[in-house]
Structure 1
Amino acid sequence: MLKEFREFAMRGNVVDMAVGIIIGAAFGAVVKSLVSDLLMPPVGMLLGNVDFAELFVVLSEGNVAGPYATLAAAQEAGAVTLNYGLFINTVVSFVIVALAVFVLIRNLNRMKRAEEPAAPTTKDCPHCCTSIPLAATRCPHCTSAL
């Protein structure tokens, strides 16, 4: 049983999938940092110094009554919050990842299409082996009926 498992785990598809998952997780971390550290601060600045990570609505007061200056303060007080700013960051991250995957798949499909051979436009005459058009019903060289 251990031998069978090792053979299964070392198949090309399983190893490729594992590498893809690891690279995908690393790519997700890079995109999360891109969104939260590089994209959203300038967007927030353009919208009047808004920090999207700190946008929340208090649904229920915590042990210490609000208002709460930050999301961390609200969570520390035990308040129930609706964190729509974090959701916006996550949606932007998703859109960037989806766009990157789309571009990757699109380019892979283009390369795959470029490798496909063109449809043949000629055929060989079975009598004289001369190349003739596909629609021909008689060979122009040996006049054989096709």
Structure 2
Amino acid sequence: MLKEFKNFIMTKNLIDLAVAVLLAGAIGLVTNSFVNDIMMPVVGYFTGGVDFSDLKIILSEAVVAADGTVTTPESAIRYGSWVNTLINLIIVGFVLFMIVKAYKKSQKPKEEPAPVPKGPTQEELLAEIRDLLKKK
């Protein structure tokens, strides 16, 4: 059983998958940093400094005791966080689109296979057989 496990772990497909997962994690970190550190400040600048994550609809206020401790937290729909997530999705999707587009552009164009010469159709073969039989 240990030998089977070793063979399973050392297969090329599993190693390729592990490398792909690690690279995907690294690309995810780079992409998230790009979105959060570069793009979101630009979005914030053009929206007048609005931080979408602070936007919410309060359903019930928080209850605060006399000593200042919150006894019941507020109940709110935090739609601003959702808007931030949508903006992140659009930016990440665009960045990944640009990466894939650049990758495809860097690849060598595939050579078209030589066209296979067409043979006679079934009707032409049957007509040829008919003509040969008539000659006999």
Which residue identity lines up with residue 48 of structure 2 in the other structure? Answer: G
After the TM superposition, which parts of structure 1 deviate over 6 Å for at least 4 consecutive aligned residues? none
Matched, 1:118 2:113: yes
Instruction: Specify which structure has the bigger relative contact order, considering alpha-carbon pairs within 8 angstroms and separated by 6 or more residues.
Output: 2
Q: Secondary structure at the match of 2:76?
A: strand
Residue 18 (structure 1) shift = 1.8
Q: Which residue of 2 aligns with 1:34?
A: 34
What stretches of structure 2 of length at least 5 have no aligned partner?
Answer: 66-71, 121-136
Indicate the residue corresponding to 1:57 in structure 2.
57
* Cα separation, partners in 2 of 1:86 and 1:115, compared to 1, 3 Å: same
Q: Is the 8 Å Cα contact of residues 52 and 88 (structure 1) preserved in structure 2?
A: yes
Contact 1:36/1:89 (<8 A) preserved: no
In the TM superposition, residue 116 of structure 1 has moved relative to its aligned partner by 4.4
Q: 1:15 to 1:81 in 2, by over 3 A?
A: farther
Answering whether residue 57 of structure 2 is matched by residue 25 of structure 1, we say no
Name the TM-score, length of structure 2 as normaliser.
0.60
Structure 1, unaligned stretches of length 5 or more?
66-76, 122-133, 138-146
Q: Which residue of 2 aligns with 1:13?
A: 13
Contact 2:54 2:80 in 1 (8 A): yes
Q: Name the amino acid aligned to 1:120.
A: P
- How many residues in Structure 1 have an aligned counterpart in Structure 2? 115
Distance (whole Å) between structure 2 residues aligned to residue 86 and residue 31 of structure 1? 19
Question: 1:27-106 alignment to 2 at 5 Å?
Answer: 27-64=27-64, 78-103=73-98, 105=100
Deviations 1:46-94 (A, max 9, x none): 22220123222223333339xxxxxxxxxxx722332222222222332
Normalized against structure 1, the TM-score is what?
0.57
CA distance in 1, matches of 2:41, 2:99: 28
Q: CA RMSD in A?
A: 3.5
